[in-house]
Amino acid sequence: MFGKILIANRGEIALRVICACKELGIPTVAVYSEADRYSLHVRFADEAVCIGPARSSESYLNIAAIISAAEITAAEAIHPGYGFLAENPNFAEVCETCKLTFIGPSPEAIRLMGDKNQARKRMAELGLPVLPGTEVLGSEEEALKAAEKIGYPVMVKASAGGGGKGMRIIKSAKELPGLLQMAQNEAEASFGSSDVYLEKYISSPRHIEFQVMADQHGKVIHLGERECTIQRRHQKVVEESPSTQIDAETRKETGGKVIRALNEIGYTNAGTVEFLMDENRNLYFLEMNTRIQVEHPVTEMVTGLDLVKMQIQVAAGLPLPIEGDTVGLRGHAIECRICAENPETFVPSAGKITGFHVPGGTGVRVDTAAYAESIIPPYYDSLIAKLVVHGKDREEAVQRMARALEMFIIEGISTSIPLQEKILADEDFRAGKFDTQFLNRFSRNGVGG
């Protein structure tokens, strides 16, 4: 096992990794920007190194500073968390060159799956269903011909994309030139590449993902699926496991296809394979995230496994301690992403938290690095806490989440809690009748603001 691990991240995920390391008896190193000097991940790590100013480009994205921090503290491995450098193949390669273990998949796997177009092509070759689409587009004329063949509406997507950037829905040939250019410009600005491709657009899908874990001895397992359909601008708001749309037979069949595909590419460590489900309950490969997910706690709640511990153990060369290729799912779990933002306008809300109380009781978990009098800086993602509940079934989990949201007090800043309380009270949500357009209709009906 590793003698010391550096966490190349901040906030709740950095604290989450520190918790796993403490339980494994591994000393930790926190890195922090000047804006995070008084953060809890700095307080609870065994050592902490300031790596730069508040701007992430000068701190949490500064590969040289992070590697230097690892070297001066004699860390043996680096856990990237999610976001920042977690899916950066160059960072993973630098870690290898510097004799540091990157706690994640290989640079080759990150690079393959990070190119959405190439990932889509490779997964299709390995037996996963994909939506009709194109290779990277070479011209506007090519795009027009391809869109006509696929059939409108289509979606233009950034090949190097993620987080909803470089994406546009195109409903007609008249719209295509302008929206194509906008997507290319946004892709270039966000990812340094203007490469885009077209894909058939499903207007009202469900978003379902399979959690996987793979060791260095050729064993790949899946840990069931998560329902991530409740989204705003392609950002998840509420997640749950299992999905009401996936039965045991579908779970086994799709999980088996995922396992075979990842075995073929030699994948290791944690990952998530994401799918879109159409109105006929057909699943289509969307993308793969080569890291631990924000919503991994819902899988932990229904499996009883610690995925971050498993990541560390797998990276250290240990075999997965699970027989077979999956585990049973127990009960139902739901996660709400509590963000520092106005619940009606979604404008970020930075500032000081003047009052803070987290809910407790049976089946309630809160992952957060916030506390009373802590400062939410304006420089980073607005996520400040993950409220997760577990119940014997979905009905109990929904009721438990509703009361936990009511008992979660955060004062001094605006948060997403009022919106999530309304979602949990909505009849269609409680009945499991929703798709990715749910929040759009929700808002138009005057419920969400």
Residue labelled with tokens 């138009």 = 444
How many CB atoms within 10 Å of residue 177? 13
CB 293 within 8 A of CB 16: no
Given a cut of 70, whether residue 235 has pLDDT beyond it is yes
pLDDT at position 444, please? Answer: 58
Residue labelled with tokens 């075999």 = 319
Give which of 198, 164, 246, 223 is closest to 436, Cα–Cα: 164
Q: Quick one: average pLDDT of 221-245?
A: 95
> What pLDDT digit, counting tens, does each position of 89-119 carry?
999 999 999 999 999 999 999 999 999 889 9
Q: Quick one: average pLDDT of 129-136?
A: 94
Q: Quick one: average pLDDT of 214-226?
A: 98
Identity of the residue numbered 166: G
Q: Are strands 5-7 and 28-33 parallel, antiparallel or unpaired?
A: parallel
CA–CA distances in Å: residue 235 to residues 193, 209, 425: 22, 14, 21
pLDDT at position 164, please? Answer: 78
Residue labelled with tokens 């270039």 = 188
CA–CA distances in Å: residue 412 to residues 92, 370, 426: 39, 12, 27
Given a cut of 70, whether residue 443 has pLDDT beyond it is no
Sorted by where each starts, the structural domains of the chain and their CATH numbers stand as 5-103 (3.40.50.20), 132-200 (3.30.1490.20), 206-444 (3.30.470.20)
CB 163 within 8 A of CB 125: no
**Prediction pTM value:** 0.93
- Would you place residue 171 in the very low, low, confident or very high pLDDT band (cuts 50, 70, 90)? very high
Specify the 3-state DSSP secondary structure of 115. Answer: coil
How many CA atoms lie less than 13 Å away from 389 in the CB half-sphere? 25
Q: Distance between the two ends of the chain, CA-based, in angstroms?
A: 50
Give which of 123, 131, 129, 113 is closest to 261, Cα–Cα: 123
Q: Which residues have a catalytic role annotated?
A: 291
| Dihedral class, residue 65 (left if φ above 0, else alpha if ψ from -120 to 50, else beta) | alpha
CB 419 within 8 A of CB 342: no
How far from chain centre, in Å, is Cα 366?
A: 17
How many CB atoms within 10 Å of residue 82? 17
CA gap 284, 348 in Å, rounded:
33
Could you tell me which residues come within 8 angstroms of residue 347 by beta carbon, excluding any fewer than 6 positions away?
Answer: 341
Q: Quick one: average pLDDT of 144-148?
A: 96
